[in-house]
Structure 1
Amino acid sequence: MILVVGATGFLGSTICGMLARQGRSVRAVVRSSSDPVKVQALRDLGCDLVEADLKEPASLKLACAGVDTVVSTATTTLRDQGVDSIPDVDESGQLHLVEAAREGGVRHFVYVSFPSDLDGDVPSPLAKAKRAVENALRSSAMTFTILQPACFMEVWLGPAIGFDYAGGSAQVFGSGDAPVAYISLVDVARFVVASLDHPAARNVTLPLVAQNVSMNEAVRTFEAVSGRTFAVRRVPIEALEQQLAAARSPLEQSFGTLMLGVARGAAQQMDERQAAFGIECATVEEYARRSVTPIATS
């Protein structure tokens, strides 16, 4: 049995779909507050649903009962911080999950983190949370797979961060000339699924990257694919530094650190261990082609 924590998110639900199509037994964690449409989609996949919450350790013990493998993609970064927070969920909650899995006899734990290169000069609350969970896994008796994917295309080249490809506009951090490592969430899901059986995934911390592209290059790619000129709003590094200095909440501090890291450049070389999986990742151009509808030309 494979337990997926974060199953109602884009990455988690994609993983559940891939596992279900392979005929695997999947137990998906949902909450009482979960979107009913997303819950039904998991049910339609044939997933066994279990109600649990990272903020409620007792519920995690029940969720882990009889489970061989845990996959955790859960994060609060795109959720209501009034209900969930990075310290409560991304750090304490994930640590509770690691402990519940260890006590429950789980053999393999797959955790989706991010590269330490993005931690910032002063590690953000999200970075501290990720490293704490990574360290807990390394010191546990479980086999672990820590995946550190680069910037998600669907997030950093998507509307949530001001890259509005549907509206033909983009927010660019810094000069936009610094290369940034990207990877599609769909490909991260493929690596997660592959790591369940691949011998190269045992007790490793594996960075994942598809392509290094500057934000300006990404804008030009989307312009070429869509056939329209984007309106570009540039946010100077100085403004990002001021924004980070004024940040008070863990979410503001974490995203401020990440945005500044992207502005300064977050290139990443592919780890040779990634190639061993034989997974060909989508490029930014391929992501653009599946994301936008080209403008008809006469």
Structure 2
Amino acid sequence: MILVVGATGNLGFSICSELAGRGYSLRAVVRPSSDPGRVEALRQLGAEPALADLKDPASLRRACDGVDTVITTATTTLRDQESDSIADVDLQGGRNLVEAARQAGVNRYVFLSFPEAADGPQSFPLAQAKRAVEQAWRQSGMRGVILQAALFVEFWLSPAAGFDAPNASARVVGAGTAQMPWVSLRDVARAVAACLEHPEWDGTLSVVAENLSMNEVIRVFEEVGGNSFTIQTVPQAALEAQRAQATSPLDQSFAGLMLSQTRGVFMTPDTRLAELHPTFTTVRGYASSVLGAPAAPA
């Protein structure tokens, strides 16, 4: 039995879909506040819903009962911070899950994180939480993998992040020349499946399709869509001021993540994913899917 924590989120659901298609038995953590439609979709995949909360250790112990592998993608970055803060969910909740899995005798633990290079010279609350949970896992004695994933194209190249491809407009932080890593949610899900198929894999696994600067990303979208982009530039100094003035851990974290884009983060594809990597979705492939255009050779 595989327990997926964060199953109602986009990445978690993608992982459940990938694993269900491969015949794995799944248990998916849901909460009373979870979207009923997403919970029903998990049931349709064959997943067994388990009512649990990262802030409730007893519920996590019940969810982990009889489980061989725990996969967690859970984060609070898109939730109400008053009831689900980074400190309560990403940090303490992550530690609670590691301990519940350890007590339940879970064999493998797969934790979705991001590369340390994104932390920058001055870390931020979300990065601190990720590193603390990674350390808790290392000290737990469980085998497993920390998947350090690149930027998700589905979020960072969407209107929610200031990138509006259909209307050919984008917000660029800094000069837009720093190299950044990109990957699709589905390819991260496929990498998770590969971890299950290779129990000998342990430690950190980098999951990235390619590295492109934001200016290069925009050029790809312009070529695919045939329209020039309108660009709004956010100077690095403005981001540094935003971070200095931020009062909430979430705002501090988003400012920190955006600042990492001004410095650049380069990820090298993991050789263990050598067979999968050539089939990963590139930025050009994603642009074609968003704009409804046939993918041209890179």
TM-score (norm 1): 0.95
Which stretch shifts more, 27-36 or 176-185? 176-185
What CA distance in whole angstroms lies between the structure 2 residues aligned with 1:279 and 1:109?
26
What CA distance in whole angstroms lies between the structure 2 residues aligned with 1:159 and 1:264?
22
- Aligned letter for 1:252? D
Residue in structure 1 matched with residue 113 of structure 2 by the alignment: 113
Residue in structure 2 matched with residue 208 of structure 1 by the alignment: 207
Residue in structure 1 matched with residue 84 of structure 2 by the alignment: 84
Which stretch shifts more, 78-87 or 26-35? 78-87
What CA distance in whole angstroms lies between the structure 1 residues aligned with 2:44 and 2:190?
21
Contact 1:180–1:267 (Cα < 8 Å) also in 2: yes
Which stretch shifts more, 56-65 or 151-160? 151-160
User: Could you list the per-position Cα deviations for residues 78-113 of structure 1 after superposition, in whole angstroms to 9, with x for gaps in the alignment?
Assistant: 222222111110110010000000000111110001
Residue in structure 2 matched with residue 123 of structure 1 by the alignment: 123
Residue in structure 2 matched with residue 19 of structure 1 by the alignment: 19
- The residue correspondences of 1:1-298 to structure 2 (distance < 5 A) are 1-201=1-201, 203-275=202-274, 280-294=279-293
Contact 1:54–1:60 (Cα < 8 Å) also in 2: yes
What CA distance in whole angstroms lies between the structure 2 residues aligned with 1:206 and 1:19?
18
TM-score (norm 2): 0.95
What CA distance in whole angstroms lies between the structure 2 residues aligned with 1:98 and 1:27?
17
User: Could you list the per-position Cα deviations for residues 113-151 of structure 1 after superposition, in whole angstroms to 9, with x for gaps in the alignment?
Assistant: 110001121211111111111111111121111110111
Task: Give the drift of 1:254.
Answer: 0.8
* Alignment RMSD (CA, Å): 1.6
Say which SS state the counterpart of residue 3 (structure 2) adopts: strand
What CA distance in whole angstroms lies between the structure 2 residues aligned with 1:273 and 1:21?
22
Say which SS state the counterpart of residue 279 (structure 2) adopts: coil
Contact 1:191–1:279 (Cα < 8 Å) also in 2: no
What CA distance in whole angstroms lies between the structure 2 residues aligned with 1:214 and 1:152?
14
Task: Show structure 1 runs of 5+ residues with no match.
Answer: none
What CA distance in whole angstroms lies between the structure 1 residues aligned with 2:25 and 2:293?
40
Shift of the 200–151 alpha-carbon distance from structure 1 to 2, 3 Å rule, reads farther
Task: Give the drift of 1:197.
Answer: 2.0
Task: Give the drift of 1:227.
Answer: 2.2
Same amino acid, percent of matched pairs: 55
What CA distance in whole angstroms lies between the structure 2 residues aligned with 1:135 and 1:205?
12
Contact 1:169–1:231 (Cα < 8 Å) also in 2: yes
Contact 2:206–2:268 (Cα < 8 Å) also in 1: no
User: Could you list the per-position Cα deviations for residues 198-218 of structure 1 after superposition, in whole angstroms to 9, with x for gaps in the alignment?
Assistant: 1452x2111222111010111
What CA distance in whole angstroms lies between the structure 2 residues aligned with 1:8 and 1:287?
23
Which stretch shifts more, 271-280 or 127-136? 271-280
Task: Give the drift of 1:33.
Answer: 0.2
Contact 2:165–2:221 (Cα < 8 Å) also in 1: yes
Which stretch shifts more, 271-280 or 13-22? 271-280
